[in-house]
Chain A
Amino acid sequence: MSEGVIHENTLYAEPIAHIGNFPITNAMLNSWLVLVIVIILAILVKKNLKKVPRGLQNVMEMIIEGFLGLFDSVTGSRKKSLKFAPLVLAFFFFILLNNWSGILPGVGSIGQIALIGGEKFFIPYFRGGTADLNTTLALAVIGVVVSHILGVIATGWWHYLNKFLNFKALFEIPKKVLKEPTILIVNPIKIFVGFIEIISELAKIASLSFRLFGNVFAGEVLLASMSAILAWGLPLPFLFLEILVGLIQALIFAMLILTYLTINTTKEEH
């Protein structure tokens, strides 16, 4: 290590190269690599599918069987589980491999030294893809937007719109006010609840992205500070903890997306 080089864990992913004005950050490079791994794995499994599974296919079938069982407990029917499984499992595997790639040796420790404002900074070539808020935000936005699109398809746009801007309740007031006067109190509350729904949609995106980013980033900082205290042996239990956290966070993200998908595609009855 050369002297005077600043090592720090930045909140943002550092750019390592530029294409025109477009910066290629280290987190992005890592998530591309993970994408390549996922695609290769998918092709390998797909290429020789057999009636009697062996080896890799066996492992994948076991994982997917387990997941479908878990999904059934959320969606309530195998048909819905099978419909949502491709998207949710794609989220799961992408996030899982991204989380785990952050603790591989070499990720975050091999890099270049760049001059920024007269000071020498160490910039790693790789950084766990989900340790960048841009990645997790993108994933959360994709998940929530898809849940809305499927919700509109499943329940119809008028019904869906009324969940947020409750015109139905507004039009009901003059029609039914003579028969049941309590509607004057109940329906404004329903309309207000619609506004709260809009805010909760934004909160969904924020909490999904911050939860994942925070957990993975905090894990990286934890490992870095533990290695700074004593590099021999001390980080080992924390490495194990990070493997567990990576798995649990990927599972939580996938299950939450699945819950949103299920809630939005189910017609609520009054």
Chain B
Amino acid sequence: MLAKALAIGIGAIGPGIGIGLIGAKAMEAIGRNPEATGKILVPMLLIAAFAEAIAIYALVIAFSIK
């Protein structure tokens, strides 16, 4: 049980920081150039999903630990 918690807990740190950075940079970009919101949003979501996928790997490992 502890192994499961550690797997997802530690595995979520990196992607969490990553998604935070992606969001921060996107907000910064929108702040600089509000007209580009539509252009920034879709790539931001895609890249956030990439970062999220790493947390998902940890989640799959957490599920598969017996």
Contact = CB atoms under 8 A, between A and B. Distances in A.
A217 B46 contact: no
B55 to A, nearest CB: 9
B47 to A, nearest CB: 10
A11 B57 contact: no
Nearest to A249: B49
A252 B60 CA distance: 19
A161 interface: no
Nearest to B63: A11
Contacts of A255: 46
A252 B49 contact: yes
B50 A221 contact: no
Interface in B2-25: none
B56 A215 contact: yes
Contacts of B53: 207, 210-211, 214-215
Contacts of A217: 60, 63
**For the complex, would chain B's binding face be called helix, strand, loop or mixed by DSSP majority?**
helix
A35 interface: no
B56 A211 contact: yes
B33 interface: no
A217 B15 CA distance: 18
A218 B46 contact: no
A92 interface: no
Contacts of A252: 46, 49-50
A248 B45 contact: yes
Contacts of A248: 45-46, 49
Nearest to B8: A218
Nearest to B47: A252
A210 B52 CA distance: 12
A214 B56 contact: yes
A251 interface: yes
Contacts of B46: 248, 251-252, 255
B64 A11 contact: yes
Interface in A248-267: 248-249, 251-252, 255
A71 interface: no
Contacts of A214: 53, 56-57, 59-60
Contacts of B57: 210-211, 214
Nearest to B53: A211
A9 B64 CA distance: 11
Contacts of B59: 214, 218
Interface of B: 45-46, 49-50, 52-53, 56-57, 59-60, 63-64
Given A211-B57, A218-B56, 9 more contacts: A214-B53, A215-B56, A218-B59, A248-B46, A248-B49, A252-B46, A252-B49, A252-B50, A255-B46
Nearest 6 CB-CB pairs, A to B? Answer: A214-B56, A211-B53, A214-B60, A248-B49, A218-B59, A215-B56
14 contacts: A9-B63, A11-B60, A210-B53, A210-B56, A210-B60, A211-B56, A214-B60, A215-B56, A217-B60, A218-B59, A218-B60, A248-B45, A252-B46, A252-B50
